[in-house]
Structure 1
């Protein structure tokens, strides 16, 4: 099999090399031909879909060029396993029945045996062309295929789970993996939730099955505003009846032991979280390991100063029973609850974690981790760091939403800072200005609020670095003044990171590193601090160190609102070591996902010109000037971020000139 469309686009040539089509349109045209199968597509429809509005002659010429690119990799020499054939009206891909995953997926579904269905489940790695940047207009072409195969996969996971194979078998594992992949792309896929409920129940883990139902319920409510289907609710009811005797016994034991049923919520000026005992889905011998994971996650979260963490001794009183998160929240006085499962089989380990709003019963974040168990203690540490790093922005995001819902008359300085957070991430000038306004109000209420001053410094530095201000040097002066006004922020990793970031963009890399490194000493899982540490390495001319730091940041917080900046940082590091094709690919991905982030066009213009792709460079330069008419190379080159790397700055300037940007 040399063609994969499920979960992305991967094509391998006859000699085993990854196929890299010359343009994105060529790659997507190839995918369209695979999806069409032997019947092919008409040239007229391909021209209308891929090159609309260009006129018949121009669109047909573009089609010929794209087909020539495809045939360069798959020439029709009579013995070729894959080739493109056509006449004046139709174009089709000719290939063996096992060459494309999507063809093999269809055949195994039709054959219908349990082993065939399990094989189809393993073939479905995600939506058709998942993760590929599809231009406007072409999404209408591919969307029906994506919907169709997603529905087929949901029907498949239901079929596999309703005819459950032997517990622990490869077929059961394939069903479980498919359910998890479906939920990763669509958290509201009820057939996948039901499949996992049945699998957990089949293993004797009713608690885990009921937690899966609760996750399904809150996700449907959050995303669609509906309750679970009758089939899902019926399955949950049968599981509750099965576990009812154990639940009643647990409640009776709790009452007999004199444990308090509820305690008044403790007043915290910061969010609070409890890490509950994880359900052990493995054997009894693995119980210590599940407890150890919770211990490590609790310890890692406790190092983050932004929220209060309930001690392990309190949460472990709930071990072995299913408790409603709202009940847990009220009894422990917490806003958020972390739940999870641990399963170890052979030399592999899987941990599932979710963060839930205790009062609203809403799932805020979830993730699954897999790895080897060769060094269990090292793996505990890594899982704890990843979980803490990911939960941190999720809790902050929830606090931001809570602050938004408060009436203006009740806003305190903390709430104003939370309202400012979504506007801090360098997307647009107007949102940055809103953050400055909110932070200024917070400082007016509490003049010694160090975090507010530090974040204000970051905002003014952003105004300069993104060339949003007419006088960047004046904004940097304001940033440095705000850092000084922040005063004692030595125990606040967020404030230290913000202040260090402002100093870095003002050209003070040594002092910036001191701030950011102190933030990481306090909170080793702070993704923002790792990202800014990466930029400091960029500005010092240390791209190898920068790559490691950006990778750490993205691992800790893959869904971070600042992820685009981390990606562009990684691209910059790659460009500096000469990996321009990878850097350009990153810039393209960021633009496809966030076309409103102007700085991306600046990077794409420079890196494309450096690689010799002047067509892309000039396109990016034009988009940059459209969004930022006042941009000049002289203003950009004068920024302090180039102070320590003059040779690189000269390369960037030369590239931007070739891209067609004005020098003055």
Structure 2
């Protein structure tokens, strides 16, 4: 039995005896196979992961050496389950075990592994000592850590929320483990607090709350949610405690001097009885613990200070809400923020409460400036309120925000997911003092908006949610977003530490988290970091749609999930994934037979089946591609994607390059920012041997798609176009970049061979030619001329000469 310790220092044991593998990449290779779902992978995939920056021949030699080292070391120790052939490297599943596997298996059977209780943020240690062997492997490891962390979190959450029959001790262990894994996990904190109270350990419960509060305050500069604060207040009241982690509420008869910027509420009561005031005051302290009473001579008024204007508005609305259960004893509420004349605070709030009609929350102009329409309240300008013929204060009525639920049919048919980037800021933040967080969020949103597969809410709209005590699902409802990207930055010297989370706005489940250091808070460094973060975020989002689509019946999937997963599956370059993509697109088309998006992408699928050589009947696929493009154009004649697909279908279905070029010219005229249309326009221009025009078009396509999930596809085709020009080093650069992401893309290998040959790098071209033949053993120059749509053109002849000279038969 081969055992691996993957959490912490990476260690391997055979029958409990330590096995020393000296080379870090060899250890990383073995660890990778442990983490792979099947315990196996292709040599090409492993080359791309561990030797992404090495020359192909040197990479293959290094892989052979690593395989030899691992195999001989394990066999010498008595383990024969490590196997390899010309295509695949594998570990036999029945003969391997790992500490991570034990953790996951335990959760599957309803048990909490001791390691989850003994170590904090345990998944952060996964392959920590070997993740730097290659940049691509490092990125893969980071994504794998997050995937595993989410699996563990979901497993623990199930145990925490399970029926009591599963055992209180088990739920307690699960909650403790969740907080060790994620100290900000409020569901776990509340569950643990309740269980400790049931055991009679009130001090322990409040200690859990204090640790949660301190962590959220230190890491994110936020407080626990209202639900968690309410639970803590309930525990304190039951135990006779009156303290809170922050400033305690003032005693009933305390003297309070209001200060500039202080929000003040005047609560007009139905009567002046002390028991009425006590009841309302109890409601105030339970719902908003940070409030304090202010003395007043008004017998039927209760005057309080709130921590922020937003808190004040929220408290005023909650006092008059039907579920407050106050029996109608609150008549109206006035809200004011103290100006330079500190004495005007309580008096203005009282005046507003006096002038308000029964059931109204009325805010002064000073208070209204702090509130956001549609977020904090629905706000109506009442003009100047008058009393006894006088000119009264400017007033605004506050009402609860009615969140409009999206029509289910509309949500199901939406073709693109919508994202919003929201900076994490303190409530009542000052824009002039928080320029950097706002700028970072704006740059991330700008980079994401350059993708054609998502819709991004404007930064100005998203920033209005900053500093608000809202969960991601609340933000999603208010902005109409499917995903929320939360961005938090802390300055450190001249630079900063950025923390970004991608959260599903339907479930509040965090899909991805990343930290990034910004060397200097300059526009250049911020833009560079934002571009990298946006690229990683989009990649995670695409992979999440694939995983979701694999686990959920297609009929129940949102349309954008179907479309996303289909696009990504087509770019995996395996037949199985390619046919799964067709299933997703066909399901999407069944929902909307005439919608231009599914028809345009089905046209693309049929063209790809021809270009990949996977079509059983190229003529039928070509006809289908043209038909689907035509249906898409009948639905929307100005859909640039559909026009581009019609042009691209003419390249592969009928080889009418002149018609294709005309249609693609129209596509970029209709939408000058359609990167895919520009890409195909460039390729077609090269095919009809307009090399400069083609080069200009593909460079524009690359500029328009900096974070496109199909970036490697763009780079491969662009490299092929540049082979017809003198920009051969640029072609080599693009082809190499494409192969780092996807070593199975044959056209990238063809472009690399061609560019290297004409650049005078003949030996490298021959090595790349051997890689091309390893990928496609039956490939010949004659087959290229026969099957490629430009095989007989001047362009095709140039490619064929280079391939033949580099040793392709």
Which residue of 577, 583, 594 corresponds with 2:742? 594
Structure 2 distance, partners of 1:430, 1:230, is: 36
Does structure 2 retain, via aligned residues, the 8 Å contact 1:457–1:482?
Answer: yes
Matched-pair contact (CA < 8 Å) for 1:277–1:291? yes
Unaligned runs of 5+ in 2: 1-21, 27-48, 71-131, 154-176, 185-207, 224-245, 248-287, 291-306, 318-375, 377-399
**Pair 1:469-2:615 in alignment:** yes
- In structure 2, the residue matched to 1:512 is 664
Is 2:396 the partner of 1:420?
A: no
CA displacement at 1:509 relative to structure 2: 1.9
Task: Work out which of the two has the higher radius of gyration on C-alpha atoms and give 1 or 2.
Answer: 2
Residues 604, 617 of structure 1: 8 Å contact kept = yes
1:238 to 187, 207, 214: 214
From 318, 321, 341, give the equivalent of 2:465.
318
Give the 5 Å matches for 1:318-337. Answer: 318-321=465-468, 323-326=470-473, 328-329=475-476, 334-337=481-484
- Is residue 2:541 matched to residue 1:405? no
Q: Secondary structure at the match of 1:648?
A: helix
Cα deviation for residue 139 of structure 1 reads: 5.4
Question: Does the Cα contact within 8 Å between 1:413 and 1:441 map onto a contact in 2?
Answer: no
- For 1:128 and 1:627, locate their aligned partners in 2 and report how far apart those are by CA, in whole Å: 18
SS of residue paired to 1:469: coil
Give the match for residue 699 of structure 2: 548
Distance 1:266 1:230 in 2: 35
- CA contact under 8 A between 1:533 and 1:546: conserved in structure 2? yes
Q: How does 1:25-64 map to 2 (within 5 A)?
A: none
Deviations 1:397-423 (A, max 9, x none): 544443333224546876654542222
TM norm structure 2: 0.46
Cα deviations by residue, 1:177-210 (Å, 9 ceiling, x for unpaired)? xx9x999946988xxxxxxxxxxxxxxxxxxxxx
Pair 400,532 (structure 1): closer, same or farther in 2 beyond 3 Å: farther
Partner SS state of residue 636, structure 1? helix
What pairs with 1:335-414 in structure 2 (closer than 5 Å)?
335-341=482-488, 354-358=501-505, 359-364=507-512, 395-408=541-554, 410=556
1:221 and 2:372 matched:
no
Partners of 2:510 and 2:599 lie apart in 1 by: 33
Shift of 1:428: 3.3
Q: How many angstroms does 1:373 deviate by?
A: 8.8
Give the 5 Å matches for 1:139-154: none
Q: Which has the higher helix share?
A: 1
Give the alignment partner of residue 252 of structure 1, picking from 307, 311, 320.
311
Cα–Cα, structure 1 residues 625 and 218, in superposed 2: closer, same or farther, change >3 Å?
closer
- 2: CA distance, partners of 1:609 / 1:305: 35
Matched residue, 1:57: none
Match of 2:629 among 474, 483, 487: 483
Of the candidates 698, 712, 716, which is equivalent to residue 568 of structure 1? 716
Helix, strand or coil at the partner of 1:596: coil
Q: 1:640 to 1:551 in 2, by over 3 A?
A: same
1:274 maps to 420
Secondary structure at the counterpart of residue 556 of structure 1: coil
1:362 Cα offset (Å):
1.8
Aligned to 1:456: 602
**Structure 2 residue aligned with 1:606, among 745, 748, 754?**
754
Secondary structure in 1 aligned to 2:630? helix
TM-score by length of 1: 0.54
Q: Look up the SS of the partner of 1:555 in the other structure.
A: coil
Structure 1 residue matching 2:706: 3-state secondary structure: helix
CA contact (8 A) 1:413 1:446 kept: no
Contact 2:683 / 2:721 at 8 angstroms: preserved in 1?
no
Query: 1:608 Cα shift?
Result: 4.0
What CA distance in whole angstroms lies between the structure 2 residues aligned with 1:353 and 1:497? 36
Shift in Å at residue 471 of structure 1? 5.8
Residue-by-residue CA offset, 1:297-332 (whole Å, 9 max, x unaligned): 768878988666667777455333564435544666
Contact 1:580 1:607 in 2 (8 A): yes
Which of 785, 788, 791 pairs up with 1:637?
A: 785
Q: How many residues matched?
A: 468
1:59-101 deviations in Å (ceiling 9; x for gaps): xxxxxxxxxxxxxxxxxxxxxxxxxxxxxxxxxxxxxxxxxxx
**1:576 alignment partner, SS class:** coil
Q: Deviations over 1:615-648 (max 9, x none)?
A: 55455445544544554434433567538x9433
Residues 361, 465 of structure 1: CA spacing in aligned structure 2 closer, same or farther, 3 A cutoff?
same
RMSD (Å), alpha carbons: 5.4
- Cα offsets for 1:496-535 (capped at 9, x unmatched): 555554456553123123224534x4xx4x6655544553
Find the counterpart in structure 1 of residue 593 from structure 2: 447
Q: Which residue does 2:269 correspond to in 1?
A: none
Alpha-carbon separation, structure 1, partners of 2:715 and 2:509: 33
d(CA) in 1 for partners of 2:450 and 2:730?
Answer: 36
- For 1:50-199, what aligned pairs fall within 5 Å after superposition? 131-132=53-54, 134-135=59-60, 136-138=63-65, 185=138
- Return the alpha-carbon distance in structure 2 between the equivalents of residues 604 and 544 of structure 1: 16
* Cα contact 1:297–1:385 (8 A) shared by 2: yes
How far, CA to CA, are the matches of 1:325 and 1:228 in structure 2? 20
**Aligned to 2:723, what secondary structure does the other structure show?**
helix
Report the CA distance shift for 1:455/1:236 in structure 2 as closer, same or farther (over 3 A): same
Partners of 2:749 and 2:772 within 8 A in 1:
yes
Specify the alignment match of 1:661 in structure 2: 808
Structure 1 residues not aligned, in runs of 5+: 1-44, 50-126, 144-178, 190-214
Of 297-306 and 252-261, the range deviating more from structure 2: 297-306
Contact 1:290 1:342 in 2 (8 A): yes
SS in 2 for 1:467: coil
Distance 2:473 2:721 in 1: 46
Partners of 2:480 and 2:509 lie apart in 1 by: 15
SS at match of 1:276: strand
Q: Do the aligned residues in 1 keep the contact of 2:496 with 2:519 (CA within 8 Å)?
A: yes
Give 3-state SS (helix, strand or coil) of 1:403's partner. Answer: helix
**Are the structure 2 counterparts of residues 444 and 262 from structure 1 closer, same or farther at C-alpha, using a change threshold of 3 Å?**
closer
